[in-house]
Amino acid sequence: MLAFSAIVLLTGSDQLIKWWAVEHLKESGSREFLRIGNFDIMHLTYLENDGAMFGSFSGMRWILVIVTSILMGFCIFYMIRHRKEKMLVFCLTLIISGGLGNIIDRLFRGGRVVDYLDLQLFDFAIFNFADCCVTIGAALLLIYILFFDKSGKKSQNEIKADNNE
């Protein structure tokens, strides 16, 4: 139940930030946001994106909605099935929240996702809070699978038993 509350909170936060971006950034386009000394780190830049990462699948609104919905459904199923694995549930909560935040945009903003985080340290795509949730969740999920997931690993005793049969 905590995971579903977190999904609502994260998705709501994403939508609130996007509402703010539409209301306050759309007209100005871009403004400085984070600077440390002489280092210009991040701007808030309003952008409407009708594609996926780096503009891929541009204009394919319904394919993106369907694929994202299927992936989120799989994540929800897997999260419920493995609800006792806290790290896994945390990762999937982030992924589902980000996916849901961007699906809401695609459905209610004419197929476009509102992006506003613009890194200045290096040339990178403009992204949003939902994208951060998906990226962090996916990275942590990869770490979990590689280093902590024990479901697919056999113990030395199980391997010996298999070899002796």
Q: Which residues are catalytic?
A: 115, 131
Q: Which single residue is written with the structure tokens 């703010």?
A: 20
Joined together, the tokens standing for residue 52 give 């996926």
> Cα–Cα distance between 97 and 129 in angstroms, integer?
10
Q: How far does Cα 154 stand from its chain's mean position?
A: 31
Sheet holding 30-36, edge to edge: 30-36, 39-49, 113-119
Q: Which single residue is written with the structure tokens 């539409």?
A: 22
